[in-house]
Amino acid sequence: MSDAIIGGKDRIEKRFAKLKEEGRAGLVTFITAGDPDPEASFEILKALPEAGADIIELGMPFTDPMADGPAIQEASNRALAAGMHMRKTLSLVRGFRDQDHETPIILMGYYNPIYIYGVAEFLEDARNAGVDGLIVVDLPPEEDAELCVPTVEKGLSFIRLTTPTSDDKRLPKLVQNTSGFVYYVSVAGVTGAGSASNEQIIEAMERLRRHTKLPIAVGFGIKTAAQAAEVARQADAAVVGSAIVSKIAESLDENGKATDKTASMVTGLVRELASGVRDARK
């Protein structure tokens, strides 16, 4: 196994260091692995860094994504219907990693598919495939020791979500044992719903920065380049998920299959978002 390939928190740290050097925030893009099918998904994934994605979140499909809105639910359904499963998700990462040694990949999803895979085996395979970090939506700190501790031991980042309901009492617990960055979910709700106001985000950043020196990525409800730019003025990165995934849905033919426009429609949006993020602090 080449060191250039294996995953680890270093890759995330290096990326944020580089962003800092460039004096700008990063763009984190989310797609669901295998959406709309494994091949098209690989084409999209490969094209993301060149289109301006600084970090990639790759959704692990799950039948019951209870913290996600309709766009990501449907992405999960499309991927599962196209035969996606965890081993294929990891090979997708491996295929990407063979070509790109720098762009961090974070797997994001729900605990059950990892639990059933087996935590130790999953972490071993994920690291070897080039996965750098994990976000597991339904594992709060009260339950995550069984995954968080071995993930950290393996050298991968375990990234926790912080939310508008995470108060000063709770935040110390949330930033403990976390690395890479802290993900701030800017609205109470499911993915793809409304967005937070600039004031709310400024206030939240201040609160979070009292508790952590880690970079902060802000997500939920960011759909346009202008919104991404606004977030990029406050946060270290802006996360866009539902809008990208909706673009995939829009590009499909009447049978729900990928078309020759699928990858280009996604990269088109990512380019816009990236220019918003890159110009934000100019």
The CB-of-14 to another protein minimum distance in angstroms stands at 27
51 class by beta-carbon count within 10 Å (0-12 exposed, 13-18 middle, 19+ buried): buried
Does 159 interact with another protein (rule: CB under 8 A)?
no
Binding mask 80-99 for another protein (x = CB under 8 A): x----xx-------------
Does 198 interact with another protein (rule: CB under 8 A)?
no
Does 113 interact with another protein (rule: CB under 8 A)?
yes
Q: Which residues contact 172 (CB under 8 A, 6 or more apart)?
A: 211
Task: Pick out residues in 128-157 that bind another protein (CB under 8 A).
Answer: 137-140, 142-143
Q: Interface with another protein by CB under 8 A: which range of 41-49, 56-64, 198-206, 244-252?
A: 56-64
Nearest CB to another protein, comparing residues 167 and 260: 167
Q: Residue 89 corresponds to which tokens in the numbers above?
A: 């998700």
Q: Interface with another protein by CB under 8 A: which range of 29-37, 38-46, 57-65, 254-262?
A: 57-65
The one-letter code for the residue type at 234 is Q
Active site annotation includes 168: no
Q: Interface with another protein by CB under 8 A: which range of 18-26, 41-49, 61-69, 98-106?
A: 61-69
Identify whether the C-beta of residue 244 lies closer than 8 Å to the C-beta of residue 31: yes
Q: Residue 164 corresponds to which tokens in the numbers above?
A: 């508008």
Nearest CB to another protein, comparing residues 24 and 220: 220
Does 59 interact with another protein (rule: CB under 8 A)?
no
Residue-wise over 129-168: b if at least 16 C-beta within 10 A, else e? bbbbbbbbbebebeebeebbebbeebebbbbbbbbbebee
Does 223 interact with another protein (rule: CB under 8 A)?
no
Q: Which residues contact 209 (CB under 8 A, 6 or more apart)?
A: 216
Active site annotation includes 254: no
Q: Which one of the listed residues 68, 132, 144, 230 is annotated catalytic?
A: 68
Nearest residue to 228 via CA among 276, 172, 269, 166: 276
Nearest CB to another protein, comparing residues 4 and 66: 66
In the numeric block, the tokens 């999803």 are attached to 109
Q: Interface with another protein by CB under 8 A: which range of 62-70, 94-102, 262-270, 273-281?
A: 62-70
Cis omega (within 30 of 0) for bond into 36 = yes
Nearest CB to another protein, comparing residues 64 and 102: 64
Nearest CB to another protein, comparing residues 45 and 159: 159
From candidates 7, 69, 104, 221, binder to another protein by CB under 8 A = 69
In the numeric block, the tokens 């280009």 are attached to 264
User: Side by side, which strands form the sheet with 133-136?
Assistant: 157-158, 133-136, 105-109, 55-59, 26-32, 237-240, 216-219, 182-185, 161-162
Does 172 interact with another protein (rule: CB under 8 A)?
no
Q: Which residues are catalytic?
A: 57, 68
